Amino acid sequence: MNISPLQTARYAYKPKLPGMLRNGVGEICVRDGAPTESVADQEKIKALFPNTYGKNEITFEKGKNTSVSKKQVVGVILSGGQAPGGHNVVCGLYDAIKAADSGNVLLGFRGGPSGLIEDNYIEFTDEYIDKFRNTGGFDIIGSGRTKLETTEQFKIVTEVAKKHGLTAIVIIGGDDSNTNAAVLAEYMAANNTGVQVIGCPKTIDGDLKNEDIEASFGFDTATKTYSELIGNIERDANSAKKYWHFIKVMGRSASHVALECALETQPNICLIGEEVAAKKMSLSAIADYIADSVEKRGNNGENFGVAIIPEGIVEFVPEFSMLISEINELLAGKKTEEFNALPDWDAKYEFIEKGLSAEAFGVFKILPQFVQQQLFLERDPHGNVQVSLIESEKLFSALVADKLKARAAAGTYKGKFGTQHHFFGYEGRCAFPSNFDADYCYSLGYNAFMLIQYGYTGYLSKVSNLSKPAEEWVAGGMPITKMMNMERRSGEDKPVIRKALVELDGRPFEYFAEHRDEWAEKTCFTYPGAIQYFGPAEVCDLTTRTLALEKG
Q: Report the sign of the C-alpha dihedral through residues 379, 381, 383, 387, in that order.
A: negative
Write b or e for each residue in 254-278: b if 16 or more Cβ atoms lie within 10 A of its Cβ, otherwise e.
Answer: bbbbbbbbbbbbbbbbbbbbbbbbe
CA nearest neighbour of 56 among 513, 382, 529, 479: 479
266 contacts 515 by C-beta, under 8 angstroms: yes
The dihedrals phi and psi of 15, each to the nearest 5 degrees, come to -60, 145
Query: What is the torsional sign of CA 296, 297, 298, 304?
Result: negative
Q: Angle at which helices 256-265 and 507-521 pack, to 10 degrees?
A: 50
Residue 97 amino acid letter: I
With a CB cutoff of 8 Å and minimum separation 6, the contacts of 256 are 205, 206, 207, 219, 500, 502, 546
Q: Is 139 a catalytic residue?
A: no
Which helix (H) or strand (E) covers residue 287, if one does? helix 283-299
Count of positions (residues) in the chain: 552
Output the CA–CA distances (angstroms, integers) from residue 200 to 132, 143, 312, 551, in the order listed: 18, 14, 25, 22
Give the C-alpha separation, 69 to 103, whole Å: 12
Q: Which of 175, 176, 205, 439 is catalytic?
A: 205
For the chain, count helices (H), then strands (E): 23, 16
Helix (H/G/I), strand (E/B), else coil: 196: strand
How would you label 163-183 residue by residue, b for 16+ Cβ within 10 Å and e otherwise?
A: ebebbbbbbbbbbbbbbbbbb
- According to DSSP, the residues that pair with 421 across neighbouring strands are 246
- Rounded to 10 deg, the angle between the 345-355 and 318-330 helix axes is 110
- Distance between CA atoms of residues 85 and 445, nearest Å: 10
Dist CA 98 CA 205 (whole Å): 32
Burial class (CB in 10 A: 0-12, 13-18, 19+), 68: exposed
Round to the nearest angstrom and report the end-to-end CA distance of the chain: 46
- Tell me which residue of 390, 374, 364, 145 sits closest to 252, measured CA to CA: 390
What is the SS3 assignment for 395? helix
**Residues labelled as active-site residues:** 205
